[in-house]
Chains A and B, each alone.
Chain A
């Protein structure tokens, strides 16, 4: 049986996942990052993007988070998400809409503040779409 590590995914609103996993991959601030059980202690910031889990027994699961922090201990993995969703709850049409909206806002920007807000929105929408593509590819849903 494959080695497992306990993983918690929590957002400010609630607990999204808690259980044993064999492998997790997240979008770190320096790029994608995969963690197996027994990983060295690591602390990183997360960018908006998918979180892929391989649960005990080999079942795949994908979540979407809008950024947060990621702590790895050899015996435990914690994802502190700003907001987290089960990827199945993502709405593709809404994400596309948001992306278009954010792109428009960036094209005719009025002030610096709005620009950064739009950039964040765009990054989030793009990450949501990326998560959905990931699901299609991996889970064939």
Chain B
């Protein structure tokens, strides 16, 4: 019986799609756990170095490092972190939207913008959207390492050192929980003092060993690297969580679609049978 052949094919195709999406969901779920562990384990370092930097920014140092000086803004740099692969819902789009919105604000003030893109999706987006991409790093993988990022970060830092960039921001997704990830823009350079620690609210400075210049150079570069690394690792956890959710929805939708199609198929089959019977009956009556 040739009834509903197209529908049958369609059902089979949706079924195989569902198989793929549910497999991807499971893969993402297991990767998410690892990515989350990685994010958690690198957090103490990021938090501590941020604390040190906050103290430093709040102190009254004898030597003001370049990274601590505010200067007139003519050109800003954006480090935009995105995923390498798609199929993770609106994760990248949300981050890009936030980045573009903030870039537009600078653009309206006639401030030029340089972009450093991390992750394939970020590179592709800015290729299509336009924008001056000065550095790009793609294929960071599931376990990004600091060494992978140093090159791209160095381009931005060098530009800052030479005075080509006056401010640097980083755009990435913040991992709120498995269900929620929110895009986040943070100023990397120059350092912003937000120290509300009251014990330090007086005029003070560190003792530096060996000397402030050398020490701060090393420390601040390390700080920026750690900030970018943390953003990439966190974005990776976001990616897996978002993909898991997107694939779960896709699997559910595929299930609904299969149910609907089966209903249509059965109806068509019933109708064909009924029609056949009535034809036979009316044929017999005519004899």
Contact = CB atoms under 8 A, between A and B. Distances in A.
A43 B208 contact: yes
Q: How large is the interface on B (under 10, 10 to 19, 20 to 34, 35 or more residues)?
A: 20 to 34
B206 A41 contact: yes
A40 B207 contact: yes
Interface stretch (B23-31, B52-60, B66-74, B278-286): B52-60
B214 to A, nearest CB: 8
B48 A43 contact: no
B6 interface: no
Interface in B190-249: 199-200, 204-210, 214-215, 218-219, 222, 226, 229
B59 A41 contact: yes
A43 B56 contact: yes
Interface in B19-53: 41-42, 44-45, 48-49, 51-52
Interface stretch (A73-81, A93-101, A114-122, A126-134): A73-81
Interface in A1-45: 8, 10-15, 18, 28-30, 33, 40-45
B273 interface: no
Contact of B44 (A15, A28, A41): A15
Interface size class of A (residues with CB under 8 A): 20 to 34
Contact of A13 (B42, B56, B208, B215): B42
Given A45-B218, A71-B52, A71-B55, A12 B206 contact: no
Contacts of B210: 29-30, 44-45
Question: Is chain B's interface secondary structure helix, strand, loop, or mixed overall?
Answer: helix
B209 A30 contact: yes
B146 interface: yes
Given A14-B41, A40-B207, 18 more contacts: A10-B44, A12-B229, A13-B45, A15-B41, A29-B210, A41-B204, A43-B208, A44-B208, A44-B209, A44-B210, A45-B218, A69-B219, A73-B55, A75-B199, A78-B51, A80-B48, A80-B49, A80-B222
Interface of A: 8, 10-15, 18, 28-30, 33, 40-45, 69, 71, 73-75, 78, 80
Interface of B: 41-42, 44-45, 48-49, 51-52, 55-56, 59, 146, 199-200, 204-210, 214-215, 218-219, 222, 226, 229
